[in-house]
Amino acid sequence: MKAVIFDLDGVITDTAEYHFLAWQHIAEQIDIPFNRSVNESLKGISRAESLENMLMIGGVETKYSNAEKQELMHQKNQYYQALISKLTPEDLLPGIGRLLCELKGENIKIGLASSSRNAPAILKRLEIMDDFHAIVDPATLTNGKPDPEIFLTAAAQLGVSPAECAAIEDAEAGISAIKSAGMFAVGVGHEPSMLQADLIVRQTSDLTIVLLHEVWGKYRIRSVKE
Ligand code: BG6
Ligand code: MG
């Protein structure tokens, strides 16, 4: 394990909840149904694709022009940015600060593979920007999660091969992307969407370098046998 690549929203900090609140605000405005189960299917997906999915589920996929959709995305992002403007280092999810320290202590590279265009602003507010050796800019990619491109790009930027990477995600699309990239997948949460993961932890406080090394060892032995 030469590198660990992190998703951001829902792994490093609880901004997955902020995305939910911001989309809920838009859904109320345009009067379409929205709940946590719909939100679950949006996790890891880009802003534009999330809106398209919401409109489709609400049965109004042809109702809005491109300009109106841009405006809805803009409003969602403004609502979201108001929420993230209050983030402080206290908002790191439990255990994440410790894990970053442990990784640095072992010279394991640290990467970020987030679909969010707000990621750099969030890392700055959490004061962990300097811990990352690579931060993939989602605007430079052709395909979003579940395509493996973002994780493969992170590995390339870190100068390691995919087989040397573990990656941590809270979303089904993210876990699929990690597995398609040929990496060791760590899922955070207890959603059915974590099923493809190689290791599932209930909460971020369970993530330690000792656990990663332990399961990584078993996984590699299993991979060689398979
Ligand atoms: C992902 C989130 O990290 O980023 C999604 O899981 C979100 O919910 C996506 O839609 C894009 O984020 P942003 O900040 O660019 O709208
Ligand atoms: Mg996430």
For 169-184, give the DSSP string.
ESSHHHHHHHHHTT-E
Compute, in angstroms, the gap from residue 42 CA to the centroid of ligand 2: 10
Residue 186 pLDDT > 60: yes
CATH code, domain carrying 186: 3.40.50.1000
Residue 196 pLDDT > 70: yes
Q: Please report, rounded to a whole number, the percentage of residues in the chain having pLDDT higher than 90.
A: 92
Domain total in the chain:
2
Contacts of 187 (CB under 8 A, 6+ apart): 168, 169, 170, 175, 193, 194, 196, 197, 199, 200, 201
Are residues 63 and 116 part of one domain? no
Are residues 127 and 152 part of one domain? yes
pLDDT value at residue 224: 56
User: Bridge-partner residues for 4, per DSSP?
Assistant: 110, 166
For 51, what's the count of Cα atoms within 13 Å in the CB-facing half-sphere?
21
Domain, as residue range, for 212: 3-14+93-225
Instruction: Give the number of the atom of ligand 1 that is nearest the alpha carbon of residue 50.
Output: 10
Best residue among 115, 125, 141 to mutate for probing ligand 1's pocket (most ligand atoms within 8 Å of CB) is 115
Last residue of one domain, picked from the residues 61, 84, 107: 84
Q: Please report, rounded to a whole number, the percentage of residues in the chain having pLDDT higher than 70.
A: 97
CATH code, domain carrying 55: 1.10.150.240
Instruction: Give the number of the atom of ligand 1 that is nearest the alpha carbon of residue 49.
Output: 10
Which of these is catalytic: 7, 14, 137, 147? 7
Q: Nearest-CA neighbor of 146 among 123, 167, 120, 124?
A: 167
Average pLDDT over residues 148-152: 98
Residue with CA at minimum distance from ligand 1 atom 1: 44
Q: What is the mean pLDDT of the chain?
A: 95
Query: CA 12 to CA 9: how far, in whole Å?
Result: 6
Average pLDDT over residues 84-89: 98
Q: Where does the pLDDT of residue 216 fall: very low under 50, low under 70, confident under 90, or very high at 90 and above?
A: very high
Are residues 101 and 77 part of one domain? no
Distance of CA 153 to the CA centre of its chain: 15
Q: Where does the pLDDT of residue 218 fall: very low under 50, low under 70, confident under 90, or very high at 90 and above?
A: confident
Query: CA 108 to CA 102: how far, in whole Å?
Result: 9
Are residues 178 and 127 part of one domain? yes
Last residue of one domain, picked from the residues 24, 58, 84: 84
Compute, in angstroms, the gap from residue 179 CA to the centroid of ligand 1: 20
Last residue of one domain, picked from the residues 84, 103, 122: 84
Q: Count Cβ atoms within 10 A of the Cβ of residue 189 and give its class: 0-12 exposed, 13-18 middle, 19 or more buried.
A: buried
Are residues 77 and 189 part of one domain? no
Residue 149 pLDDT > 90: yes
Are residues 175 and 101 part of one domain? yes
Are residues 144 and 46 part of one domain? no
Q: Is the CB of 153 under 6 A from ligand 1?
A: no
Average pLDDT over residues 85-100: 98
Residue with CA at minimum distance from ligand 1 atom 8: 43
Sheet with 109-112, strands from edge to edge, namely 134-135, 109-112, 3-6, 165-169, 184-188, 199-201
**pLDDT tens profile 200-210:** 999 999 999 99
Q: Is the CB of 39 under 6 A from ligand 1?
A: no
pLDDT value at residue 53: 96
Average pLDDT over residues 20-45: 95
Angle between the N-to-C axes of helices 66-84 and 15-30, in degrees from 0 to 180, rounded to the nearest 10: 140
pLDDT value at residue 59: 95
Compute, in angstroms, the gap from residue 225 CA to the centroid of ligand 1: 37
Average pLDDT over residues 136-153: 97
